[in-house]
Amino acid sequence: MHIPDGYLSPQTCAIAFAAAVPVWAVATRRVERVVKTRHIPALAAFSSVSFLVMMLNVPIPDGTTAHAVGAVIIAITLGPWAAVLAVSIALLFQALLFGDGGVLALGANSLNMAIIMTFIGLGTYRLIAGRSELTARRRVIAAAIGGYVGINASALAAAIELGLQPVFFHSTNGTPLYSPYHLWQTIPAMALAHLTVAGGAEAILTGSVFAYLARTNPELLLANHPGLDAEGHTIRPAYKGWFTPGRAALGAIGLMVLATPLGLLAPGGAFGEDAPGQLNLHQLGLSSVPVGLSRWNGFWNHTLLGGYGFSTGNHQVLGYLLSAVIGIAVVGASVFGVGSLIKRLTTTAAK
């Protein structure tokens, strides 16, 4: 679902940035409630998890791959504005350090995965959960469905963005200048990948994390579920013991780092993420790579580990592991730093 540079016209990228920037600005202000509490470490951990799950590609029946995102569980736990910032920062460093998604297309990718997915997924969760108790099974189901609906809404948005490129941006003879895929190709391809495998992965991730937090650390969830305890809804006390939620989170992140090379087992690549030289021009009815795609695809060539590996192509597993470690360190530290800065600024302004 990471749209690379060149697949979207500069005009489309500009519109996407124009739509995303105001949301980022509001999120920076609205996330104050989260950072004023002791939830900055949780936000950093969630952002690292989002980065990791987007590295774990899963195979789709048509030979492509897809991945979960994790935006909805962040929104359910810490609020939608925290999710917007966390996922956007993860996407930023994926593009800059690893070439996963375009730098010019960052606005579109953030719009799809950090904004649309967050608000639609959270809205679905709240609609289904209603006023049920925090520990009710209904909320676990609501979280899973919210994740499923959210990622499919995100995929649909990406499909429309890609599919509209040949409609609005083409040469005089109709040859696409950017994405060569039409809506009748993009929507079914993205729907197949996300209604089946990726949606299921997102649902399992969102539902299972929510169930764990509701059982062991409901106080964390209460920050984004105001009024539940005041209305007589009972919650279990936070788990006390050596196996704390914090230690469990660190263990889960460590296991996910070790598991990231499993993404190498998924054959093929994700739909709409091919490099220009990998396009099947004959199948697309083209004689050459679209001009705009060829021009802008290499806009950013300063990645640290492009494609989550070494430039030589050797030691793929080691490259994936190293990418995971660097990624969680940079993303986690950046989110922690941004949260700490916002907390400091808001505290200073309140004095």
Q: What is the per-residue DSSP string for 34-72?
A: HHTTT-HHHHHHHHHHHHHHHH--EE-TTS-EE----HH
pLDDT of residue 230: 43
For the whole prediction, is pTM greater than 0.85?
Answer: yes
Q: Structurally, how many domains does the chain consist of?
A: 1
Is 60 contained in some domain? yes
**Within-domain flag for 4:** no
Write the pLDDT tens digit of every residue in 268-294.
Answer: 789 989 999 899 999 899 999 999 999
What is the per-residue pLDDT for 73?
Answer: 97
Indicate whether 5 belongs to any domain: no
In this structure, is residue 84 part of a structural domain? yes
Q: What six digits make up the tokens of 287?
A: 């004689």
pLDDT at 235: 54
The percentage of residues in the chain with a pLDDT greater than 90, rounded to a whole number, is: 66
Backbone angles phi, psi at 66, to 5 degrees: -155, 180
Burial of 218 (0-12, 13-18, 19+ CB in 10 A): buried
- The least confident of 11-25, 52-66, 158-172 is 52-66
Is residue 1 in some structural domain? no
Among 212, 193, 183, which residue's Cα sits nearest to residue 269? 193
Residue 90 lies in a domain: yes
Question: How many Å apart are CA 158 and CA 29, to the nearest integer?
Answer: 27
Domain that holds residue 152: 10-350
Split at pLDDT 50, 70, 90, the class of 189 is: very high
| Residue whose entry in the numeric block shows the structure tokens 């049920």 | 132
Domain assignment present for 175? yes
123-132, 170-179, 255-264: range with lowest mean pLDDT: 255-264
Instruction: Give the range among 123-137, 203-217, 236-250, 306-320 with minimum mean pLDDT.
Output: 236-250
Residue 49 to residue 197: CA distance in whole angstroms: 19
Q: CA 19 to CA 110: how far, in whole Å? A: 10
Of 41, 40, 33, give the one whose Cα is nearest residue 81: 33
pLDDT bucket at 232, cuts 50 / 70 / 90: very low
Lookup: tokens for 325: 């470690």
**Chain-wide mean pLDDT for the chain?**
90
Position 351 confidence tier, pLDDT thresholds 50, 70, 90: low
The CATH number assigned to the domain holding 236 equals 1.10.1760.20
Whether residue 2 is contained in a domain is answered as: no
The residue ranges of DSSP E strands in the chain, in sequence order, are 58-59, 65-66
pLDDT at 185 exceeding the cut of 60: yes
- Rounded to an integer, the average pLDDT of 56-70 is 88
Contact 108, 272 (CB under 8 A): no
More confident residue, 80 or 238: 80
Neighbours of 228 (CB within 10 A): 19
What would the mean pLDDT of 33-61 be, rounded to a whole number?
85
Name the pLDDT band for 79 (thresholds 50, 70, 90).
very high
Query: Burial of 252 by CB count in 10 Å (0-12 exposed, 13-18 middle, 19+ buried)?
Result: middle
> What pLDDT is stored for residue 40 in this prediction?
84
Grouping H, G, I as helix, E, B as strand and the rest as coil, residue 270 is strand
Closest CA to 92 of 79, 82, 105, 80: 105
Report the 3 state secondary structure along 20-44.
HHHHHHHHHHHCHHHHCCCCHHHHH
Q: Which residues pair with 59 in a beta bridge?
A: 65
| pLDDT tens digits for range 84-111 | 999 999 999 999 999 999 999 999 999 9
In this model, does residue 41 exceed pLDDT 50? yes
